Structure 1
Amino acid sequence: MREKLLAAIRARNSHTPDTGDPTPVLDPAALKEMDTLLALVTATSVGGGRGVDVEAFHALGWLCWLRVQALPVDEWDDDLGCATMAFGPVFAADPSAVPEALHEFFAQQAAEHPADAPFADHPFADDDDPAEDDRFVPEDLVFDPERHELRSGSQAPDPDTDPAPDTDPDSGPPVDAAALTNKGVELTEWYERDGDPEALQGALHLFRAAFAAVPPDHPKWDLCRINLVIALGTWYDATRDPDALRETVDVFRTAARDARSERLARRADLSAALRMLFDHTGGTATLREAVDVRRDVIAATADASPKLPAHLTDLGGLLRRLYEHTGDAETLHEAIDAHRSAVAATSPGDEELAARLTGLGGALQTLSEHTGDPEVLREAIVVGRRGTGAAPAGHPYHAMCLANLGVSLRTAFEDTGDLDLLHEAVDAHRACAAATPDDHPSRASRLLNLGNTLLALSGRATDGAALREAVAITRAATAALPDDHPDLPMYKSNLGNALFILADETRDQGALAEACELARAAVTATPDGHALKPRYQRNLAAGLTQLFRRTGEQRWLREAVVIGRAGVAAADDDWPELSRTLYVVGSALYQLFRETGDDAHLAEARSVLARAAALPTASVRDLIDAGRLLSTAATVAGDHTAALAAMEAVVSRLPLMAPRDLRRADREHRLGEVAGIAGRAAAAALSAGRPKRAVELLEQARGLLLTEGMDARTELDRLRDRAPDLADEFARLRDRLARLDPAAGRQDDRARSARCAARRPPSGTRCSTVSAPVQGSPASWPRRPSTGCGGRPKPGRSSW
């Protein structure tokens, strides 16, 4: 940049004497080049770079001198002053390089002020008429660095009222914050026009110096702070340098500490800056600090303050993010309480109501994932629909509300199998993605939501279009994140899972290899103790098992067992996905036994699967899958009694696979996913020497299917003929009973979660990615992998 500007000015300086044409030096662009080069020279000096740039001052001096020669006498005062300023250090280095007409002036200055000669210590002039800009500071902003006293740059101090400044030679000249700021603006404008990073870096040096020179009680202190923050943000956007974000946080810390007024607002700014730093670089300590600062702000805010709901919403969002990284259930409950309070304090007509409802809905959605409580999920959907109703198309929060509602709807589909909910979720996420600009910071997460929802839909589609679209969109979402983004492992895990399913559908070896690579990268990049690491480890273990089946190489199976064990060890006992993770490990161990004949692998597989089949937090589908494979393993071990017990538990859970409040087609689909159970249960009973029990289990399992085949609700039909209202009430109660969770009688979730958190470091939560494809029992793998509750992938939770 310096060389470019220097060359342009030298070309003007050469053209005018050679041709006698003053047009190049009088061109307004010449002044812009001059101001920018002077700003760059100033920035280099302030930033601790090279010393006095004699070459630059030589070119600047001659440009101003040529303008003096060309302008009328009454118009060249400013240029003459600039020329003498610029030629000062040049005269000291080589008097012959300065116009002869100025020699006498410089000689006189040297004689009268020998300590100042040759003006090399502070060769910076004030700007003329700086442009109107948010970063502009009036030119009278000049400070004595020792006394921090405002002085005028154009009027000499009064010796009767202003004591002489400290003459310590080490203290340096007075700092002109206005000049530094205006030169910073020049460089910023040059960067915005030409994209030259040297200009932006120079602006940063100048804004730092100006901010350091202004005392906190000066009215322009905030403006200097904002200049620096804006420049740091621009530098981060251009370079992805995390130090820029850290410096931004330090600036906000200084503001929160030193501000004499609006201290509360400065603390809120600090919390927001810490959240920004966390979002881009990660680090739980940073997030905790942001939470603590926001709590302090709320504690100091009056109950009647109109700012309180916004602070509560911000706190709720921070706490939810903290829960996702720690698994601490109490943190999540505090987040919900904060969101509820924010909604309660917001009037119905407030434009912010939609955002606050969406925050509450998202926190409830996360709680439903943690507890598996269907009532919490239903409340999340109700709140989400309220949010979208309060934010129609064109509303600034329209896309955000659609994103959170779509996630809740998709989760409800996973838990119930209701295809209508899934189609509604797809529509919500498509509309959300369409309403999100390409440069929006949430673009990637909203694409991820759409990709995950299409992945779930692909399990019910008759062609591969939804699956191919899911892969393409998830790939685009992953590509939209920079390499150092803290959420990139989550995106890679999601893309890997979509590719696992694609590889299983198409037998594409390249897709399988890429999926394993992505799953491994997600595990490697995630630190121990992170709430999502157990899920990533399960995903990789399941993918390696799939790779073994494709290649027959035992090393993949052994690695799957090791990684799966690590995921189980890191997971919370109350994690709803623990059963699926145990199933992945048990399946790999059983496969390893089949390959090696080692009874130790079979014994461990039975132990792991028995635990998976008994967890109260597990989904019905996970319990059934684990029970079926447990029965197979027990049969191979010769333990026919245990094999029968496992199948009896599976048959008892069949009604929960297809509650009566589902549409008929959805019920039939879910029961089709567990076809063959009646025959397997009867076979287990016969192997155990209990033929009578075999007949009972066969009839019990087939009876459910027969009920689906017949629409024989004649008693209800007759009741509806006589008393329609009573029939409707009966149906409502029947359907509600059918939806009851097997673990509905568990103790209060807060107390349970607190005890769980006290037992082990927080780790597994179900919050931001999908579970990997894993297969059914080795004897009967389905064509499509059974990939989570109800046989569908568990898409990510990335809604804001």
Structure 2
Amino acid sequence: MDDAVQRLRAAVERFSAGDRDAVTDPETVTLAVRLAAGIRPGQPVGVPVLQALGHFHLARFQFLDREPDLQKAMTYYAHLHESRPDLVPESLRGLIADHTDGTRLLRIAIDEDDPEILDGAIELLTDEAADDDPAVLSNLATALIRRHLTAGSGDDLDNAVHAFTRAAALAEPGDPQRAVYLTGLTGALRERGDVDRAVQAGGEAVAAAGPETLVAALHNLGNALLDRYRHTGADPDAQQALDTLTAAAAALDGDDPPLISILNTTAVLLRARYDRHGAPADLEDAHDLLRRATGLPGDARARANTYNNYGTSHIDRFEFQGDLAVLDLAIDAFEQAADLATGTTAAADVLMNLGNARVTRYEQRGTTADLTAAIGLLEEAVQDTAPDHPVLAERLSNLGLALSSRFEETGNRLDLDAALEACRRAAELSDDHAERAAMLGNLGNVLGAVADHSGALLDLDAALTVLAEASATVPPHHPDAARHRNNLGLAWRAHFERTGRPGDLDAAIDAHRDAVARVPQTSPERPGYLSNLGVTLHCRYYATGDLGDLDEAAACFESGLAGLPPGSRDRPSMLGNLGSALTGKARQAGNRSLLDRAVTVLREASASGPDRILATSHLATALLTAGSGEPGFTEAMTALVRVAGSAAAAPALRLSAATTAGGAARQAGDLGLAVSAYRMALSLLPLLSGRRLRRADQEFHLGDQAGLAGTAAEAAIRADRPAEALELLEHGRAVMWGHQVALRGAAAVLRVRDPQAADRLEQLRDLLDADALRRPGPGMDSVLHEIRVAGRRSGLLREMGQVLAAIDVTHQDGEHRRQ
């Protein structure tokens, strides 16, 4: 700090010597901002800091004639005057008292949206409030609320409630300002979540209001009733809120500026009632109010809020109608809101909504640019949110989902790790969060993606635990209940695929049936829920052979396809599921025309969409089932090789494709091709037994492939390639126990060259082995702990990769020198 003070003083001296740019160049301004940021309210500040900052802002005022610089200078000089008045410029000493009025400073802080001036205003108002002047107490509370909204400090909020309460108590019963103090108290209590006291204070404010304060009092009471309706779902609160807001709008003269905010609140109320009861009229009325509000006068903050809510209204209509053009309108509205909100406390909220909307458009249209832009917007929203702000959980969760989507697109494990960490933090932050079920649901979905990639039972158990709690947390009649039931069904199905327990599959079907039953026929979510029910029924058909399940699965896919909007990105995935079911039905019935339709459907499904690799695998199965000669066999083998070589696909799917290709080639008599396919399968085995997995998972996956090396060797012997048969057997055996050997061999090589690195390699191996053998505990706390452990394992694995890469580089350098 001493160096910063000296540099700031030098800049002022250069200004005094005639260098006018000395106090405006970006480096000096940044230096002053950082020096000011080190000042904490209530903490002592050194005289040199106060003097340097005062002189700097006074010089800027003299050059730029900006009143905010003068106010900042006077704020610093006022503090300096308390201990060293001799250091304050003599011409200003007599003005200190006039220019350090807290209320005046607060107005400037609000006009300039300047947190530094706001801190100074709060300090002055705190001192002035000792005289118990109701107006000063009210201004202090207003300043504290403003700082709370920026920094998220709970202490500021509690102190604001206390100041407003004190101001209202001190005001005379007939004082027209008493309604103002009570209205402010209503807002502070709402912000704190004390909805019953907020409604009470709001009612008192309306009773005390005169003509000049009635509109604000009615609006705040309407907001308080809306908050309580959201908490309790009591319809009388919704109706009273609607009546109160209607009265507030009617009390205005024409399109006065408060109208834009009142219409916003009314629209939010109608949307909340739609969420609870599903009446389309509420949704349309809310949309009409917001459309009207976009044309009304208001400040940038009010207009940004209007366009933000207008965008949300378009999202609601898209979810109800499924019209992608409506989604585009939502993004346009959010972009206008973002432009208006730049530099305000509302910016992060708008960025989150815009990011989420672009994720939705990516999911519908598959445009990677939307996903990339969305992640950038969501990262910015998280960065702009204070660590203790209550909305941080929701913003982290949304970022996690977007990163998980990008992992599904690219297969980059770093995205999946980052998604898991973001959603874990969101779940931990949301212990008392009103949308805890949503945070848990998002975490469970990301854990499901982790499990799809890893095949680890621990990951499947974790996803199931989290999603079961999310489903149990949401009220039965909440609009999100269907989504949580659907997600729980997915988790049960994945658990069955790992354990083989019939009860898991029955639980999955029950959950999916419940999800479908909870949504109306017109819901854009219904096709997806039908598809998931169909996949689970198809899975039970494979387990039990019940043709009724297969027929119902195909019917679900047909119905889901019919319900998709034109251009939906879900169409390829739905086609892939339908094609797989049609293949099964054709095989059972020996129906060639049905099989031909399955192939046609699967060719379309494998051409695009996030599940194109899975659809490609289904296509290969259909082509091999059709037995359509050389062209069909070649197309099937090409499809299987494509799946096996896809880095973005789950390892188990890749391995299945390679072994299927080997078996098909061997049956067709192409032993050379069979050997190549089996070699590819053996090369994929390490992905199923990697050190990310615990020992039990490694043994499970490798146990499933115990005969693979023998099958590959048998094909090589039949192809008259005995040496290659031996090599394949050795390769398979090496995978089964080669991790320990490989690491110990690497450590031995490294110990000669770099003993310290060798020690670290062995430490990493021991840490990973200890995790692999440890048994996790039950419950949510254990799940969250295990996610942190998984993050640590990822870090250890990355470090191990770096050490092993260093060995390879060193080896290559040595070989180069010997040549």
TM-score higher than 0.5: yes
Alignment match, 2:693? 662
SS at structure 2 position matched to 1:660: coil
Contact 1:609 1:626 in 2 (8 A): yes
- Is 1:490 the equivalent of 2:528? yes
1:460-499 correspondence to structure 2 within 5 Å: 460-461=498-499, 463-499=501-537
Alignment match, 2:473? 435
TM superposition shift of 1:590? 0.8
1:215-226 correspondence to structure 2 within 5 Å: 215-217=254-256
SS at structure 1 position matched to 2:645: coil
Distance in structure 2 (CA, Å) of the matches to 1:588 and 1:499 = 19
TM superposition shift of 1:274? 0.9
The equivalent position to 2:385 in structure 1, one of 338, 346, 350, is 346
1:364-379 correspondence to structure 2 within 5 Å: 364-379=403-418
Structure 1 residues 409, 591: CA separation in 2 closer, same or farther (over 3 Å shift)?
A: same
Deviations 1:632-661 (A, max 9, x none): 333444433223222222222222221133
The equivalent position to 2:726 in structure 1, one of 695, 709, 713, is 695
1:103-142 correspondence to structure 2 within 5 Å: none
- Using structure 1 for the length normalisation, give the TM-score: 0.61
Distance in structure 2 (CA, Å) of the matches to 1:194 and 1:301 = 33
Aligned residues: 540
Distance in structure 1 (CA, Å) of the matches to 2:480 and 2:689 = 36
SS at structure 2 position matched to 1:427: helix
SS at structure 2 position matched to 1:350: coil
TM superposition shift of 1:506? 2.2
Contact 2:447 2:462 in 1 (8 A): yes
Alignment match, 1:583? 617
Alignment match, 2:311? 271
**What is the Cα-based RMSD across aligned positions, in Å?**
4.0
Contact 2:661 2:674 in 1 (8 A): yes
Alignment match, 1:52? none
Distance in structure 2 (CA, Å) of the matches to 1:475 and 1:737 = 46
1:781-796 correspondence to structure 2 within 5 Å: none
The equivalent position to 2:493 in structure 1, one of 455, 460, 468, is 455
Question: Larger deviation: 730-739 or 416-425?
Answer: 730-739
Deviations 1:685-735 (A, max 9, x none): 233331221221122123323559x99987799999x99755213566994
Alignment match, 1:625? 656
Contact 2:267 2:287 in 1 (8 A): no
Alignment match, 2:763? 728
TM superposition shift of 1:248? 3.6
Alignment match, 2:357? 318
Contact 1:579 1:613 in 2 (8 A): no
Alignment match, 2:633? 602
Question: Larger deviation: 679-688 or 396-405?
Answer: 679-688
TM superposition shift of 1:606? 2.8
Distance in structure 2 (CA, Å) of the matches to 1:331 and 1:485 = 24
Contact 2:274 2:283 in 1 (8 A): no
SS at structure 1 position matched to 2:520: coil
Moved over 4 A (4+): 192-195, 218-241, 710-720, 722-726, 730-740
Alignment match, 1:330? 369
Question: Larger deviation: 551-560 or 649-658?
Answer: 551-560
Structure 1 residues 400, 523: CA separation in 2 closer, same or farther (over 3 Å shift)?
A: same
Letter aligned with residue 763 of structure 2:
D
1:123-202 correspondence to structure 2 within 5 Å: none
Alignment match, 1:308? 347
Alignment match, 2:771? none
Structure 1 residues 644, 477: CA separation in 2 closer, same or farther (over 3 Å shift)?
A: same
Alignment match, 1:47? none
Structure 1 residues 373, 713: CA separation in 2 closer, same or farther (over 3 Å shift)?
A: closer
Distance in structure 1 (CA, Å) of the matches to 2:715 and 2:266 = 75
Structure 1 residues 537, 441: CA separation in 2 closer, same or farther (over 3 Å shift)?
A: same
1:370-409 correspondence to structure 2 within 5 Å: 370-392=409-431, 394-409=432-447
Structure 1 residues 234, 687: CA separation in 2 closer, same or farther (over 3 Å shift)?
A: same
Unaligned runs of 5+ in 2: 1-201, 212-232, 769-794, 803-819
Deviations 1:375-418 (A, max 9, x none): 111111111111122111x3213222211111112211221122
Letter aligned with residue 354 of structure 2:
L
SS at structure 1 position matched to 2:341: coil
Distance in structure 2 (CA, Å) of the matches to 1:616 and 1:420 = 23
SS at structure 2 position matched to 1:410: helix
Contact 2:264 2:309 in 1 (8 A): no
Deviations 1:764-797 (A, max 9, x none): xxxxxxxxxxxxxxxxxxxxxxxxxxxxxxxxxx
Deviations 1:76-103 (A, max 9, x none): xxxxxxxxxxxxxxxxxxxxxxxxxxxx
Distance in structure 1 (CA, Å) of the matches to 2:260 and 2:799 = 65
Structure 1 residues 222, 214: CA separation in 2 closer, same or farther (over 3 Å shift)?
A: farther
Deviations 1:156-212 (A, max 9, x none): xxxxxxxxxxxxxxxxxxxxxxxxxxxxxxxxxxxx9999xxxx9xx99xx99x99x
Distance in structure 1 (CA, Å) of the matches to 2:444 and 2:725 = 44
Question: Larger deviation: 605-614 or 346-355?
Answer: 605-614
The equivalent position to 2:462 in structure 1, one of 424, 444, 452, is 424
Distance in structure 2 (CA, Å) of the matches to 1:232 and 1:336 = 27
1:701-716 correspondence to structure 2 within 5 Å: 701-705=732-736
SS at structure 2 position matched to 1:490: helix
Alignment match, 2:324? 284
Structure 1 residues 364, 672: CA separation in 2 closer, same or farther (over 3 Å shift)?
A: same
Percent of residue pairs identical = 28
Letter aligned with residue 367 of structure 1:
R
Letter aligned with residue 694 of structure 1:
A
Distance in structure 2 (CA, Å) of the matches to 1:272 and 1:193 = 24
Contact 1:252 1:270 in 2 (8 A): yes
Contact 2:260 2:298 in 1 (8 A): no
Distance in structure 1 (CA, Å) of the matches to 2:433 and 2:796 = 41
SS at structure 2 position matched to 1:524: helix
Deviations 1:22-75 (A, max 9, x none): xxxxxxxxxxxxxxxxxxxxxxxxxxxxxxxxxxxxxxxxxxxxxxxxxxxxxx
Distance in structure 2 (CA, Å) of the matches to 1:351 and 1:734 = 32
Letter aligned with residue 679 of structure 1:
G
Contact 2:456 2:693 in 1 (8 A): yes
SS at structure 2 position matched to 1:347: coil
The equivalent position to 2:586 in structure 1, one of 548, 558, 575, is 548
Contact 1:579 1:622 in 2 (8 A): no
Unaligned runs of 5+ in 1: 1-131, 142-191, 741-800
Letter aligned with residue 643 of structure 2:
A
- Is 1:685 the equivalent of 2:729? no
Distance in structure 2 (CA, Å) of the matches to 1:194 and 1:715 = 71
TM superposition shift of 1:250? 3.4
Answer 1 or 2: higher relative contact order, Cα 8 Å, separation at least 6.
Answer: 1
TM superposition shift of 1:523? 2.2
Deviations 1:505-559 (A, max 9, x none): 2222222221111012122322453222111111111112222344333343222
TM superposition shift of 1:348? 1.4
TM superposition shift of 1:563? 0.9
Structure 1 residues 450, 567: CA separation in 2 closer, same or farther (over 3 Å shift)?
A: same
Alignment match, 2:333? 293
Distance in structure 1 (CA, Å) of the matches to 2:730 and 2:799 = 23
Deviations 1:237-264 (A, max 9, x none): 76754x7644542331121013455333
Distance in structure 1 (CA, Å) of the matches to 2:443 and 2:561 = 29
SS at structure 2 position matched to 1:460: helix
SS at structure 2 position matched to 1:257: coil
